[in-house]
């Protein structure tokens, strides 16, 4: 069985809705052979990452950057996971009020340093998530889980 780790900082109702859609997509009955494990960014550990076959990252965009909680997660796991997780598949979803380019650049820079590989383009939602945004979150979770299973 493959393990998909969702590391998230869910600091608002909008992010909660996005997280639930990602988790529901990853947990759909249509995807078999994948265990979904969700951890808040402040409690996710290197062991969680080492035990996972793929990672989905969820963060608010705060002042144009990833949340401090997600940055803390990366700070904690970087060296313990550096060599052991090369080519680890990942995807990301972000929520902000406006420009997310700094947060996207941070995730890309950190995951490039870890030698992880993006399996989907990052999903960025600004403002209140629409039905289409939440469907895209669901699909992000389902597609990422299916890629691990297949």
Domains in the chain: boundaries: 2-149
Q: Is the pLDDT confidence value at 149 over 80? A: no
150 pLDDT above the threshold of 80: no
Q: How far apart are CA 63 and CA 68, in angstroms?
A: 11
Class of domain 2-149: alpha beta
pLDDT category at 128 given cuts 50, 70, 90 is very high
Each residue of 64-97: pLDDT tens digit?
999 999 999 999 999 999 999 999 999 999 999 9
Exposure of 79 by Cβ count < 10 A (0-12 exposed, 13-18 middle, 19+ buried)?
A: exposed
pTM for this model (two decimals):
0.96
What would the pLDDT profile of 13-38 be if each residue is shown by its tens digit? 999 999 999 999 999 998 889 999 99
């Amino acid at each position: 069985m493959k393990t998909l780790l969702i590391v998230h900082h869910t600091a608002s109702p909008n992010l909660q809705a996005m997280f639930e859609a990602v988790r529901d997509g990853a947990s759909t009955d249509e995807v078999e052979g994948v265990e979904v494990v969700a951890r808040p960014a402040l409690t996710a550990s290197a062991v969680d990452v080492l035990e996972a076959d793929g990672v989905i990252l969820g963060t608010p965009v705060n002042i144009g950057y990833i949340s401090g909680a997600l940055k803390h997660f990366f700070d904690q796991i970087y060296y313990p996971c550096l060599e052991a997780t090369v080519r680890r598949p990942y995807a990301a979803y972000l929520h902000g009020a406006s420009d997310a380019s700094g947060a996207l650049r941070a995730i890309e820079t950190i995951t490039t340093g870890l030698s992880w590989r993006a399996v989907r383009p990052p999903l960025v939602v600004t403002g209140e998530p629409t039905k289409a945004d939440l469907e895209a979150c669901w699909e992000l979770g389902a597609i990422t889980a299916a890629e691990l299973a297949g």
